[in-house]
Structure 1
Amino acid sequence: MEEYIQQFLTNKKLQGISEKSISAYIIDLKQFNNYFNCSNEEVDICFKKHMTSIINNSQYKRNTKKRKIITIKMFIEFLNKEYHFSIKSLPNIVIRKETKLPKTLSSREVSRLINYIDNIHLSSLTKERDRLRDKAIIEMMVNLGLRISEVSNLNIKDYNDGNVIIHGKNNKERLLFLTTHTSKKIVQDYLECRKKYFPNLKETAFFLNKYGERLSIFGVSNIYKKYRNLSKINTSSTPHYLRHSFATELLNNGANLRDIQELLGHSSISTTEIYTSVSTLRKQKVLSTYGFRNNIDA
């Protein structure tokens, strides 16, 4: 088999394939050759089993699996065409998409973010107006798990004493609630300030920019980034971390998945289930840090 591999590589070099790709082919086909040399099975079965082992190897990332499978398929095609092998066509292999775990802020980071906005002292009334708005935005995102688009799309008529109608993806509406006196007061302070600075405004948007117009998603994102940097929490975090943190906190405190799905506005429970992985990892970390046996062995 090694001779055929060398011919395949020579053929690819003559085609002008890059050195980087050739190096990848060498690695992939060397692995197959090692497998082939240790097996007494027919070539067809060897190829099939080797490809299956690639798919099932949890140490390979999705792109690595795809590359290795493509290399093997090209090699099979080469053998059939150039050397008249009759390796049967293998079934289409589906490589599942990798599920990325949602990234969150710690409870301490969320507290630092909120406390910074609470305690900052500003010199001008205009800056204080913006602070009250920003504080209300962060409060809603932390306690309701809102997307930035949902913050931007919020209208005055959607809010009534802590009851909030959220306009989510695909124009789906859901009703959420600010349940604490503190959260309601933060929003009410902003609304009073909004009315004071823009008394005759006909704009229906809940959150306004300095021109009295609807605050855009970029405006919401920039507000988060501003206080993220000032409060010195995770500098790579985005506003969506607050949504993930909201969901994970609910799950960690015993909320059921179906309720979290409705609160987040997910159309499918499978989207919400990803938070169970984050919760499981956190449980493992807690047990490995504070478990009885760990403290004995320390």
Structure 2
Amino acid sequence: MNFLLQKFIEYLQIEKNYSQYTIGAYKHDVQDFFMFMNEQEIHNLQLVTYQDARLYLTKLYGQRYAKKSVTRKISVLRSFYKFLMRESYVKSNPFAQVTLPKLEKRLPEFFYEQELEFLFHSIDTSDPVGKRDLALLELMYATGIRVAECAGIRLSDVDEQLSVLLVTGKGKKQRYIPFGSMARKALQDYLQNGRQKLMKKHNHPFLFVNQRGTPLTVRGIQYIFQRIIDQAGENYHVHPHMIRHSFATHLLNNGADLRTVQELLGHSHLSSTQVYTHVTKERLKKVYSQHHPRA
């Protein structure tokens, strides 16, 4: 079974171009199912039946996994068996007919424009760390890039003259995103007066660095955003993805068309972008109810 799992991982790496983070999650989910198979004394993937798949689903519910986690685990196993069928290792997919739980449609959390302005002005840019933090926040809001995409930006990806950023997204797909004057100004200040001081003796091509001079990680970016919120005197938990949500929501609120926002976000399907139209509708309803005399 471990041999087949390794084959599946190679398929995810080579054919699907999935990130190491995604591949690690897939591997963990498949290994969890292998443990279930051992408990049920099923020693061959070919012997797993639809009833076994249903029993595994029941076990996940019994362990109080969230609906989203259950859906992900079953989807991973469905993909795993689909791969095994393609390679003729098994004859059927026991997870093909398993009904996935209905997920609650949650609207993306975002900042209002005034809230972001407050955050921008709350950052002390008198030292290299502050210059980096402002450049990070400005660039993420200006482009709507994902946190992992931001961590992967190299100096050569930034065209300061044209104010364009080359982004490598999911599946190693690349796209160009323009950024505005505020982000360009913050970037120039960081590059001229901040990055070199933080780099110290290190030498690497990544744009954003931590206080030790090594490339900033996804976890590091998450920490920075929470620190910005804390220093601004706010007492709620945020995640950097809220900046991406804010980018899309503000563009649509100000008249941008859905296809353009889709391209900027790097969404493969328009349906992924359409969730932000629900956000704008909710905002319109809220404004209407607050200001219409007969609402």
**TM-score if structure 2 supplies the norm length?**
0.62
CA distance in 2, matches of 1:184, 1:98: 39
Q: Which amino acid aligns with 2:136?
A: I
Match of 2:109 among 103, 106, 126: 103
Q: Is the 8 A contact 1:105 1:234 kept in 2?
A: no
Does the C-alpha gap of structure 1 residues 292 and 267 become closer, same or farther in structure 2, counting only changes over 3 Å? Answer: same
1:211 aligns with 2:217: no
CA distance in 2, matches of 1:213, 1:121: 20
Which residue in the other structure is 1:267 paired with? 268
Q: Which segment is superposed worse, 131-140 or 196-205?
A: 196-205
Q: Is the 8 A contact 1:113 1:233 kept in 2?
A: no
How far the C-alpha of 1:199 sits from its partner, in A, is 7.6
1:116 aligns with 2:111: no
Q: How does 1:1-298 map to 2 (within 5 A)?
A: 96-117=102-123, 120=124, 128-161=127-160, 162-180=163-181, 182-193=182-193, 194-195=195-196, 198=199, 201-233=202-234, 235-294=236-295
Q: Is the 8 A contact 1:165 1:173 kept in 2?
A: yes
How far the C-alpha of 1:200 sits from its partner, in A, is 6.9
Q: Is the 8 A contact 1:112 1:233 kept in 2?
A: no
Q: Is the 8 A contact 2:258 2:273 kept in 1?
A: yes
CA distance in 2, matches of 1:121, 1:280: 37
Which residue in the other structure is 1:125 paired with? none
CA distance in 2, matches of 1:201, 1:96: 49
RMSD: 2.3
Q: Secondary structure at the match of 2:176?
A: strand
Percent identical across equivalent pairs?
Answer: 34
What do the CA deviations read for 1:107-145 (whole angstroms, capped 9, x no partner)?
A: 22111111101xx375xxxxx111111110000111111
CA distance in 1, matches of 2:145, 2:266: 9
Does the C-alpha gap of structure 1 residues 199 and 227 become closer, same or farther in structure 2, counting only changes over 3 Å? Answer: closer
Q: Is the 8 A contact 1:102 1:278 kept in 2?
A: yes
CA distance in 1, matches of 2:196, 2:238: 32
Q: Which amino acid aligns with 2:187?
A: V
CA distance in 2, matches of 1:176, 1:102: 22
How far the C-alpha of 1:230 sits from its partner, in A, is 1.3
CA distance in 2, matches of 1:236, 1:121: 23
What do the CA deviations read for 1:171-198 (whole angstroms, capped 9, x no partner)?
A: 1111011122x32111011111223554
Q: Which amino acid aligns with 2:184?
A: K
CA distance in 2, matches of 1:221, 1:276: 26
Q: Which amino acid aligns with 1:101?
A: L
Q: Is the 8 A contact 1:201 1:212 kept in 2?
A: yes
- Unpaired segments ≥5 residues, structure 1: 1-61, 64-91, 123-127
Does the C-alpha gap of structure 1 residues 197 and 217 become closer, same or farther in structure 2, counting only changes over 3 Å? Answer: closer
CA distance in 2, matches of 1:94, 1:225: 34
CA distance in 2, matches of 1:184, 1:214: 20
Q: Which amino acid aligns with 1:268?
A: H
CA distance in 1, matches of 2:148, 2:258: 23
Which residue in the other structure is 1:32 paired with? none
CA distance in 2, matches of 1:156, 1:138: 17
Which residue in the other structure is 1:3 paired with? none
- How many aligned residue pairs are there? 198
**TM-score if structure 1 supplies the norm length?**
0.62
